[in-house]
């Protein structure tokens, strides 16, 4: 704030005289129990650094007691090791987010070259307890296994010499599994002529300062650490990181990687050596590589096969042949298969120490709803198969299980709120008396589940289907839990569209073709061809745009040129038969003066991992200019700019 007189410190030996503006440690906050001495609304503004700790008991009491106007949490690693969510303290809202690849692209962190080095030890048979390897067994393998441990330590030395550009410039941190492992590695490196030290949580402050200074001066080449340097300690000069143990927690992996990503004069990039061998099937390689990649369009398996073309700008990722094979084998037998999902559900309480719910399961294992529902099975059925809930029989299960994946794309707050309100009382609603807006939202829901347009709310078929859902408490409960999960993970601001009638479509939300057409009262779905539709009674033109078109899915006459020019301008190409002087072309050009509306819906690909991709509603557009005829190339100005999360997709499609 550039005001040396602002605020007071209350930490360690510092004691604050005035409580108005405090810089306080959580230890002091708890020892003084400030929330018991001050009114709940005493502070207007509370900022918590390293806020991923907020779910811990030492934070929770204060956060639940104080009621500031603004509560701001800052963290580089929002994912917690124990799977507990910190979002409840922040109304489930992330205000701003910069992930690792974007931070590197923006030159806030230095680029990295990551080498997945084939390990000499396989860990697939080691004991797995509470979400990770047994640390004692792991330490014994790395330090007490005689020739096996010596051979691995030799391999680490040789790999560092091979991959380091200049050993005389190396300033490395090596992350170990135990105190014994850290000292074993330091002794081995010293014996090999590479100056090294070992530090752990018992090392004195003086030892830590001395080690840092010696590393910076080049007197020591490697500090081997255990339970240190995960967070809060910066040595910007570090240019090499050695992962000498499997890191089960994505949070810890990113924290440790981050120790070497700090910008420093003279440091061009960080060299990362990650030692990879055959791993327990529960070990998750995918989330680690996904966190390193800047391009989320391809899965990790495909990225390995493509040579990691999605690495952030200036970065390089390479897996040695044996390491790549170990990762691919692990992914192929990972817990996203039906049997492995059942196994993970069965062991969830033991692994996590939490009571099983859909949201906790997804968060703990870093899954998405699509990872479960792409199997055409409900979470409740998987739980029954795992023996953690009673078996059940419900008429609607077969139908709903096949379409639950569609709800994994729901991101309209207004629509989800409506459904969470009406679903628990389906058997007590006169659907025909609902307001027009709510009838349309219910039709969209009906279309999602039963692929039919509910024209008559008094129809026996329509009522039978809705009542069958009302009479299925297990499936109905799961549907509501999935909708709540979706609601809590919406990460953008939507807004209603003014289309001249009570329309439930929200700008920047995602809908299937049939959902959005039902919202527009359109019943004849098969009549929509080539992504354009005119609704004369509403004077609305609907454009459904696929940005990345492949020859396999589209004929030469429908390979249109569609892309974002800027956040507010969009280039669209009409059908090949549309002339500028035709009634259709003139309607496009003069839509505003004729009271017409143009609606743009876009998707990146025709297919995604779950099947046919839904569309994102970009909102209304206004004619700016055009060139050509048959087809027309039209530039539209969007009423609301494209959000950054979608702009990147539409610009990538253009490139």
262 with 118, same domain: the answer is yes
How far apart (Å, rounded) are the C-alpha atoms in residues 575 and 389? 54
Give the whole-angstrom CA distance, residue 370 versus residue 381.
Answer: 16
Could you tell me if residue 497 is inside a domain?
Answer: no
Average pLDDT over residues 499-506: 94
Residues 162 and 58 in one domain: no
> Do 76 and 220 sit in the same domain of this protein?
no
**Residue 556, pLDDT above cutoff 70:** no
Omega of the bond prior to 69 within 30 degrees of 0, cis? no
Domain boundary among 300, 317, 332: 332
Within-domain flag for 558 = yes
pLDDT of 551 higher than 90:
no
106, pLDDT greater than 50: yes
Predicted confidence at residue 448, as pLDDT, reads 95
Both 304 and 281 in one domain: the answer is yes
Render pLDDT for 426-466 as a digit per residue (tens, 0 to 9). 999 999 999 999 999 999 999 999 999 999 999 999 999 99
Residue 499: count of CB within 10 angstroms of its CB: 17
374 plus 475 within the same structural domain:
yes
Does 2 fall in a domain?
A: no
User: What's residue 549's pLDDT?
Assistant: 64
Domain membership flag for residue 152: yes
Q: Is 533 helix (H, G, I), strand (E, B) or coil?
A: strand
The predicted-structure confidence for 609-644, as pLDDT tens digits, reads as follows 677 889 999 999 999 999 999 999 999 999 999 876
Please report the pLDDT score of residue 319 as a whole number.
Answer: 93
How many CB atoms lie under 10 A from the CB of residue 259? Answer: 21
Domains held by the chain: number: 4
Here the tokens at position 187 are 């002794």
Do 329 and 319 meet the contact criterion of CB atoms below 8 Å apart? no
Specify whether 461 is located in the same domain as 363.
yes
Q: Which of 117-126, 447-456, 524-533 has the lowest mean pLDDT?
A: 524-533
Last residue of a domain, one of 488, 523, 555: 488
Structure tokens at 48: 């918590």
Higher pLDDT, 161 or 557: 161
Q: Report residue 96 as tokens.
A: 């701003």
Q: What are phi and psi of 73, to 5 degrees?
A: -110, 135
Mean pLDDT on 497-514: 93
Residue-level pLDDT at 187: 96
Reported as a single tens digit per residue, the pLDDT across 61-86 is: 888 889 999 999 988 766 655 556 67
Residues 316 and 198 in one domain: yes
Indicate if the pLDDT at residue 592 is higher than 60.
yes
Q: What is the pLDDT of residue 142?
A: 94
Residue 653 has pLDDT above 50, yes or no: no
CATH number of the domain residue 214 falls in: 3.40.50.300
Q: What's phi and psi for 74, nearest 5 deg?
A: -120, 130
Q: What is the mean pLDDT of residues 105-125?
A: 91
- Distant-in-sequence, close-in-space partners of 533: CB < 8 Å, separation ≥ 6: 517, 522, 527, 541, 542, 544
Whether residue 52 sits in one domain with residue 31: yes
Residue 1 is assigned to a structural domain of this protein: no
Token pair belonging to 82: 């124990």
Q: Evaluate if residue 182 carries a pLDDT over 60.
A: yes
HSE, CB side, 13 Å, CA atoms: give it for residue 98. Answer: 10
Across 45-54, 288-297, 369-378, 389-398, least confident range: 288-297
Give the phi and the psi of residue 169 in degrees, each rounded to 5.
-105, -5
pLDDT at 44: 95
Tell me, what's the pLDDT at 559? 46
Statement to judge: residues 181 and 328 lie in one domain: yes
Average pLDDT over residues 337-349: 86
Which residue, 206, 263, 196, 253, is CA-closest to 229?
253
- Three state DSSP letters for 182-214: HHHHHHHHHHCCCCEEEECCCCCHHHHHHHHHH
Could you give the dihedral angle defined by the CA atoms of residues 552, 557, 559 and 561, in that order, rounded to the nearest 10 degrees?
180
Q: Are residues 165 and 268 located together in one domain of the fold?
A: yes
| Measured distance CA(583)–CA(343) in Å, rounded | 61
pLDDT, averaged across the chain: 87
In terms of domains, do 166 and 201 share one? yes
pLDDT band with cut points at 50, 70 and 90 for residue 295:
low
pTM of the model: 0.69
Spatial separation of the C-alpha atoms in residues 353 and 356, rounded to whole Å: 9
Cα–Cα dist 236/509, whole Å: 42
Question: Residue 562 has what pLDDT?
Answer: 78
pLDDT digit string, tens, across residues 319-328: 999 999 888 8
Q: What domain range includes position 639?
A: 502-654
Q: Range with the lowest mean pLDDT among 193-202, 438-447, 453-462, 544-553?
A: 544-553
pLDDT at 649: 55
- Same domain (yes/no): 385, 534: no
Of 483, 500, 502, residue with least CA distance to 434: 502
pLDDT above 70 coverage of the chain, percent: 91
229 domain-assigned:
yes
Domain CATH number, residue 616: 2.30.280
Report yes or no on 495 lying in a domain: no
- Single residue among 65, 97, 129 that ends a domain in this structure: 97
């Amino acid at each position: 704030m550039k005001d040396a007189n602002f605020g007071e410190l209350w930490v360690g030996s510092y004691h604050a005289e005035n409580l108005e503006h405090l810089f306080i440690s959580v230890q002091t906050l708890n020892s003084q129990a400030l929330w018991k001495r001050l009114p709940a609304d005493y502070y207007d503004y509370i900022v918590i650094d390293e806020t991923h700790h907020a779910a811990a008991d030492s934070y929770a009491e204060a956060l639940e007691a104080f009621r500031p106007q603004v509560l701001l949490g800052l963290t580089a690693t929002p994912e917690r090791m124990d799977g507990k969510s910190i979002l409840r303290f922040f109304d489930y809202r992330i205000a701003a987010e910069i992930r690792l690849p974007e931070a590197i692209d923006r030159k806030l962190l230095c680029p990295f070259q990551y080498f997945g080095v084939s390990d000499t030890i396989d860990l697939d048979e080691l004991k797995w307890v509470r979400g990770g390897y047994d640390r004692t067994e792991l330490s014994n393998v790395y330090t007490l296994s005689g020739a096996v441990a010596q051979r691995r330590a030799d391999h680490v030395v040789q790999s560092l010499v091979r991959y380091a550009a200049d050993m005389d410039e190396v300033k490395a941190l090596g992350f170990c599994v135990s105190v014994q492992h850290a000292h074993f590695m330091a002794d081995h490196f010293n014996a090999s002529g590479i100056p090294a030290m070992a530090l752990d949580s018992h090392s004195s402050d003086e030892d830590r300062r001395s080690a840092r200074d010696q590393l910076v001066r080049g007197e020591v080449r490697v500090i081997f650490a255990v339970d240190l340097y995960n967070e809060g300690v910066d040595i910007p000069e570090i240019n090499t990181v050695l992962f000498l143990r499997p890191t089960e927690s994505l949070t810890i992996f990113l924290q440790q990687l981050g120790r070497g990503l700090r910008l420093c004069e003279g440091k061009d990039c960080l060299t990362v050596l990650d030692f990879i061998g055959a791993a327990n099937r529960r070990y998750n390689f995918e989330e680690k590589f996904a966190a390193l990649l800047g391009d989320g369009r391809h899965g990790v398996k495909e990225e390995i096969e493509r040579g990691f073309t999605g690495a952030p700008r200036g970065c390089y990722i390479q897996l040695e042949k044996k390491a790549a094979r170990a990762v691919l084998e692990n992914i192929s037998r990972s817990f996203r298969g039906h049997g492995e999902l059942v196994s993970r559900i069965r062991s969830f309480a033991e692994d996590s120490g939490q009571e099983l719910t859909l949201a906790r399961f997804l968060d703990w294992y870093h899954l998405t709803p699509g990872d479960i529902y792409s199997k055409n099975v409900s979470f409740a059925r998987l739980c029954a198969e795992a023996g953690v809930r009673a078996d059940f029989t419900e008429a609607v299960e077969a139908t709903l299980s096949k379409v639950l994946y569609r709800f994994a794309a729901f991101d309209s707050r207004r629509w989800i709120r409506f459904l969470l309100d009406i679903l628990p009382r389906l058997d007590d609603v006169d659907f025909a008396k609902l307001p027009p807006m709510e009838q349309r939202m219910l039709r969209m829901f009906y279309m999602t589940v039963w692929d039919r347009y509910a024209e008559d709310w008094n129809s026996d078929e329509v009522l039978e289907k809705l009542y069958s859902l009302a009479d299925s408490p297990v499936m109905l409960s799961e549907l509501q839990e999935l909708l709540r999960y979706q609601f809590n993970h919406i990460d953008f601001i939507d807004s209603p569209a003014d289309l001249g009638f009570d329309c439930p479509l929200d700008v920047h939300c995602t809908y299937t073709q049939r959902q959005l057409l039902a919202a527009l009262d359109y019943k004849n779905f098969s009549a929509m061809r080539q992504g354009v539709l005119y609704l004369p009674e509403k004077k609305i033109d609907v454009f459904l745009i696929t940005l990345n078109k492949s020859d396999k899915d589209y004929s030469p006459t429908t390979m249109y040129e569609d892309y974002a020019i800027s956040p507010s301008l969009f280039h669209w190409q009409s059908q090949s038969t549309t002339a500028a002087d035709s009634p259709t072309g003139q309607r496009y050009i003069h839509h505003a003066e004729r009271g017409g509306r143009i609606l743009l819906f876009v998707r990146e690909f025709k297919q995604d991992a779950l099947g046919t991709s839904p569309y994102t509603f970009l909102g209304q557009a206004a004619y700016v200019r055009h060139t050509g005829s048959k087809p027309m190339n039209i530039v539209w100005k969007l009423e609301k700019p494209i959000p950054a999360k979608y702009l990147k997709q539409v610009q990538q499609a253009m490139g």
